[in-house]
Structure 1
Amino acid sequence: MATPITASTLVAALKDEGLTVVEVRDWRNHHRNHQGDWGPVHGVMIHHTVTSGAERTVDLCYDGHPELPGPLCHGVITKDGKVHLVGHGRANHAGLGDDDVLNAVIAEKDLPSPNEQNTDGNSRFYGFECENLGDGEDPWPAAQLEAIEKAAAALCRHHGWKAPSVIGHKEWTDQKIDPRGFSMDDMRDRIAERLK
């Protein structure tokens, strides 16, 4: 359990991990806190966007759409490996998921298969949307995968978490398939190595 990182500390943590950070519009004050709690936070959730084009993807994640207002995450990781910060606070990214998964994340143990939608993930997870069509064919450039690793590691390092605190959206709920095209187990291995 942890108090959410401040905006300035997040920027510093990402840069300390070697990332290029782009601060988008009024991201520091852009959130959905009026819709519910933000924190305590327990982990980091990785998504794919089902979009292409960095500018379009970042704008969508900042603004959202009529059915789901933005921000749709905290950071957007584009194919070039840049992290675009689009929100700070509660974001519409995780939705409802399985409390057994949340308990496993908190305990940093192996994840059970999700089979319930009974817990609000938007209040408990940081979210990174990653520019990718999510069709299993759109490539994941090395720079982007490295940025996912570094961004997740930056938050883990700040909070004293280990790699099991990082999950994919599909590991939170059986209603989602993202991220598709790389292995979350492999990504956690990379994050664990970086945290050494």
Structure 2
Amino acid sequence: MATIPWLVDVLRGAGVQVVVEGDWLNRMRSGSFDPIGVLWHHTAATSSATNPHPALNICINGRSDLPGPLCQALVDYHGVFHVISAGRCNHAGTSGGSGPIPVGDGNTLMIGWEIDYNGVDQRMTTAQYNASIAATAAVLKRLGRDSSYARGHRETSTTGKIDPSFIDLNTMRADVAAKMAGGGTGWTSIVDNATAGRFTASANWGTSTYSGQRYGADYRYADPVAASDAAWYKFNVPRTGNYRVEAWWPANAGYNAATPYIVATTTGNKTVTVDQRATGGQWRSLGTFTLPAGDANRVAVSRWSSAAGLVIADAVRLTEV
């Protein structure tokens, strides 16, 4: 049975903070282990700054119905990788196949990260995401594979797993690819509708906590009209360059099917229309745009839509690429 004794050195070489948990080199399940990719999970435990890795003991020792170890590494609230095993772990079950990952024994095929957040009303922290991107890129380089070999458990599961919640896995793979190409270290910033001094909207925009798919404590909504009345997100862009623009909205059948997002680029405003009835509760890419440096309104949600349903303004993220 193969092992990956190089894991700690590869993670540290990528700048990832590592804690070694006991005899990780010899803690493993019996059976074959010849990994070709990396699989992301969430633990379903609620982590916090003061309780950053509540699922660590279970990931090491397992449960009554599933013996440990349950992953090669757990990623805590602060983005620290707790390395548990250099060998086969009970994390993936049967792979139904996804991308280049074939049908077969997922525990043989994949190295697993358990990211410690509950995935229901808690999403992974920025520190967890950034560390997981760096770790995945470094491990795939070591395996001689490209970013398509990074998958989420919900993509390979044959039993209806939903993990990892609240992330766009195509965006994850794009970020891994950028990291492997020497990028992915650029500036990133999130502006929520509640971010002080960074979000502006008229009194026509109401505030709601109705949807559990919201980013943060609440979000804004308004009826569509034949006028802009845009809600604006202000960013202090550090330098002129290319930035991926992503939006987060809670989805609902009563929301707008053609919501216009406006991006203020170096060559004028660009409009991207999205269907806010679907694919909510996660970051969705609007595209990559050249943005000018400076502190100014950069992204807006406009009410000028011909479709029925409420227009939603929740959160926007810019990432330098």
* TM-score normalised by L of structure 2: 0.52
Q: Which structure's CA Rg is the greater one?
A: 2
Q: Within 1, Cα distance between the matches of 2:3 and 2:10?
A: 10
Alpha-carbon shift at residue 139 of structure 1 (Å): 3.0
Measure the CA separation in 1 of the matches of 2:2 and 2:175: 24
Matches within 5 A, 1:28-107: 28-33=25-30, 36-39=31-34, 41-52=35-46, 53-98=51-96, 100-101=97-98, 104-105=99-100
Instruction: Check if 1:18 corresponds to 2:12.
Output: no
* Counterpart Cα distance in 1 of 2:3 and 2:174: 24
Equivalence for 2:145: 161
Return the alpha-carbon distance in structure 1 between the equivalents of residues 101 and 63 of structure 2: 31
- Please give the per-residue CA displacement for 1:67-111, whole angstroms capped at 9, x wherever unaligned: 00100000001110100011121100000121x43xx3259xxxx
What SS class does the counterpart of residue 170 from structure 2 fall into? helix
- Assess if the C-alpha contact under 8 Å between 1:58 and 1:86 holds in 2: no
For residues 58 and 42 of structure 1, the distance between their equivalents in structure 2, rounded to whole angstroms, comes to 25
CA distance in 2, matches of 1:95, 1:144: 24
Contact 1:31 1:71 in 2 (8 A): yes
User: Match of 2:305?
Assistant: none
Cα distance, 1:173–1:163 mapped onto 2, change above 3 Å = same
Q: Which letter maps to 1:43?
A: G
1:56 and 1:67 map into 2 onto residues whose CA distance is 19
Amino acid across the alignment from 1:14: L
AA of the residue aligned to 2:106: G
Residue 290 of structure 2: aligned partner:
none
In 1, the alpha carbon distance for the partners of 2:53 and 2:143 equals: 30
SS in 1 for 2:56: helix
Q: Verify the 8 A CA contact 2:2 2:32 in the aligned structure 1.
A: no
Within 2, Cα distance between the matches of 1:182 and 1:59?
A: 25
Distance 1:5 1:17 in 2: 20
> Which one has the bigger helix percentage?
1
Q: Deviations over 1:98-130 (max 9, x none)?
A: 1x43xx3259xxxxxxxxxx6211111000000
Q: CA RMSD in A?
A: 1.7
- Using a 3 Å threshold, how does the CA distance of structure 1 residues 5 and 152 change in structure 2: closer, same or farther? farther
Partner of 1:193: 178
Structure with more of its chain in strand, by fraction: 2
1:46 is paired with a residue of what secondary structure? strand
Could you tell me how far apart the structure 2 residues matched to 1:132 and 1:88 are? Answer: 23
Would the aligned equivalents of 2:123 and 2:165 in 1 still touch at CA under 8 Å?
Answer: no
Name the counterpart of 2:106.
121
Question: What is the number of residues matched between the two proteins?
Answer: 176
Question: Runs in 1 of length 4+ with deviation above 6 angstroms?
Answer: none
Return the alpha-carbon distance in structure 2 between the equivalents of residues 55 and 130 of structure 1: 9
Q: CA deviation at 1:186?
A: 0.9
Shift of 1:4: 5.2
Tell me: higher relative CO, structure 1 or 2? Use CA pairs within 8 A at least 6 residues apart: 1
3-state SS in 1 of match to 2:78: coil
Give ranges in structure 2 of 5+ residues lacking alignment. Answer: 182-321
Q: Secondary structure at the match of 2:176?
A: helix
